[in-house]
Structure 1
């Protein structure tokens, strides 16, 4: 198997299916191995290009195989799917991964470091806790509404739930259920605060995160997530590529020489896109106190476009600014608007 130049691996939880091929693309071997057997195989195999789909466990496996001297590449699963021939199985998937990686125009995913993966996991835990807290709040509102008690929307009212229960006469069992939900709400809020404090401590020691916080509207949560996902920014050719990867550029459906641009594509990490849109809305809420070219640009857009369209446009601009700060090792500089003579 000395003529093997590329190996595609279909990853699994317990079993893995490597597919090796030579420089001409001819299949040399394919086998089914366990995780331990896979690591033992690549530890003694000569250096070659190893390609995998960017899925769960792929980043750890990429770091591990790189230690053995192999050139590891990760491909988004959506780019592998068109190369699957006929019926689908694990060996066909591994062959399709090699076929996709052989394309000269293929785009690859940069493997994450351990710190990036840890920070990303912390963000996902916080996101799950926030989602659980919203569900708990909605459940309390729903139970009270069934008994004719309508509370204003928001967490502040939920924190005053004991006073609300004392004011109205409700069944004792329902009061016990609401008290249990209220305790769960306070527990979730405490856990979210602890995670946010941990993010602030990590961001205080991260120069990249501090530079990202100079962007108007960007706070601790968004800056730390951008720092973990962007890395050095070299995986993107330009700022628009990063905005497109986040899903903040228009979808295109053009034919016959006629350009047709639709809404935003909503590709990539929806959490980053959601946070950037929220940063844009926060900037727009304080627009009367903002100055500079960006503020004037937003005001001119609001004069002729809906606020939601402007928020998405501003979020795309914030994504481009973030990439420029990371790739050029600089900070955001607020520039005054140039007035015409």
Structure 2
């Protein structure tokens, strides 16, 4: 049995394998338990192995590549067209085996353990930020039940929370309600400290990563966005152009063109939603600073704001930022500010 191409459908406990030889003849259809996968692959001659990009795929890609195999990860959306009729594990493995051999197929670069660890920091911070927002909103709503209305902004709520521990704070609250609010305030303080701890760890990684430092020189890209981009894009050369990179982030118009007529809609919102959100937030700050920015980019933003809605301009800036980030990653350069003419 000589396998040249192998498709593996990953799952929590059971993996489905589909292998073909150099003539395309099916020579293997097999189910394996998770613990037996590496032992089985170790006995095979080096071959091309395809897997769908999923939460565990980068770990398995590293482990399998260490055995001498060539491993390629495919976005699930690109595997779906190759599934014949009913969807099941065997059909998925066959589709992966077929898709991985296509010359025009796009693959996902395998992340290192370090890059995955940085992304874990980002996901943890994002989760803690959502929990912090939930507690802030809850405290604001509970206080409103007793006639205390807080001003907008997290700082105003935090300042009010600090007054709760003082019995002479002037807030007319029942003892039971005050006790519950103090409990939420303690959770809020813990979350804030954990977020700061994660940000310090991200800063330490940023200071020893050249790609992240280059990305931070782009207007609208700070520590969080720079480290997220550097960790999420291990090999920028898989994208042929900055536009392809922006399309991967979902920052290009959705097309519904036919008969030679171009019909462009809103942005596709495909790809990494976290990176897209960070870029749009950074672009929002660039938009707000545009009136006082005396650069060529600032003049371009001001000209857009005169003709287009602010949110549309923000997305356009995010698209341009993504293209600039790709160029810096590929060329290994830093951002150079062009003075206004």
Q: Deviations along 1:46-91, whole A, 9 cap, x unmatched?
A: 0110000000210011111111111101111111122222222211
Structure 2: stretches of 5+ with no match in the other structure: none
- Do 2:132 and 2:188's aligned partners in 1 also have CA atoms closer than 8 Å? yes
Q: Does the aligned pair in 1 maintain the 2:218–2:335 contact within 8 Å?
A: yes
- Which residue in 1 is equivalent to 2:255? 252
Give the secondary structure class of the aligned counterpart of 2:238: coil
1:204 correspondence with 2:219: no
The runs of at least 4 consecutive aligned structure 1 residues that moved more than 4 Å come to: none
The residue matched to 1:55 in structure 2 has which SS? Answer: coil
Between the two proteins, the alignment pairs up a number of residues equal to 337
Residue among 295, 299, 304 paired with 1:296: 299
Q: 3-state DSSP class of the match of 1:167?
A: coil
Instruction: Report what 2:4 is aligned to.
Output: 5
**CA offsets per residue over residues 278-325 of structure 1, 9 Å max, x none?**
111111222233122111110110000011000000000000100100
Provide the secondary structure at the position in 1 that maps to 2:218.
Answer: coil
Distance, in Å, in 2 between the alignment partners of 1:88 and 1:335 is 53
Q: Which moved more, 1:94-103 or 1:162-171?
A: 162-171
Q: Distance in 2 between matches of 1:269 and 1:238?
A: 17
Residues 138-190 of structure 1, C-alpha deviations (whole Å, 9 max, x = no match): 11112122223221222111212242683221221111111111111111011
CA distance in structure 2 between the aligned counterparts of 1:100 and 1:144, rounded to whole angstroms: 57
Provide the alpha-carbon RMSD of the alignment.
1.3
Query: Any idea what SS the aligned residue of 1:32 has?
Result: strand
Is residue 338 of structure 2 the alignment partner of residue 335 of structure 1? yes
Residue from 173, 177, 184 that aligns with 1:174: 177
What's the offset of the Cα at 1:326?
Answer: 0.6
TM-aligned CA distance change 1:330 to 1:172, over 3 Å: same
CA distance in 2, matches of 1:267, 1:237: 18
Give 2:158's aligned residue. Answer: 159
- TM-score in terms of structure 1 length: 0.96
3-state SS of paired residue (1:28): strand
Q: In the aligned structure 1, how far is the partner of 2:305 from the partner of 2:27? A: 60
Distance 2:114 2:162 in 1: 42
- Whether the 8 Å CA contact 1:230–1:323 is kept in 2: the answer is no
Out of 29-38 and 58-67, give the one that drifted further: 29-38
Q: In the TM superposition, what are the counterparts of 1:1-341 in structure 2 within 5 Å? A: 1-2=1-2, 4-160=3-159, 161-163=161-163, 166-338=169-341
Distance 2:185 2:157 in 1: 8
Q: Distance in 2 between matches of 1:174 and 1:191?
A: 26
Deviation of 1:232 after TM superposition, in Å, equals 3.5
Whether the aligned pair in 2 keeps the contact of 1:226 and 1:272 (CA below 8 Å) is yes
Which ranges in structure 1 are unaligned for 5 or more consecutive residues?
Answer: none
In 1: Cα distance, 2:162 partner to 2:69 partner:
61
Shift of the alpha carbon at 1:96? Answer: 1.3
Q: Is the 8 A contact 1:158 1:182 kept in 2?
A: no
SS in 1 for 2:108: coil
CA distance in 2 between counterparts of 1:97 and 1:213 reads: 37
Q: Deviations over 1:13-33 (max 9, x none)?
A: 121111111233322111111
Task: Tell whether the 8 Å contact from 1:249 to 1:264 is kept in structure 2 after alignment.
Answer: yes
Deviation, 1:255, is 1.0
1:231 deviates by 2.2
- The CA distance in 2 between the partners of 1:191 and 1:85, in whole Å, is 48
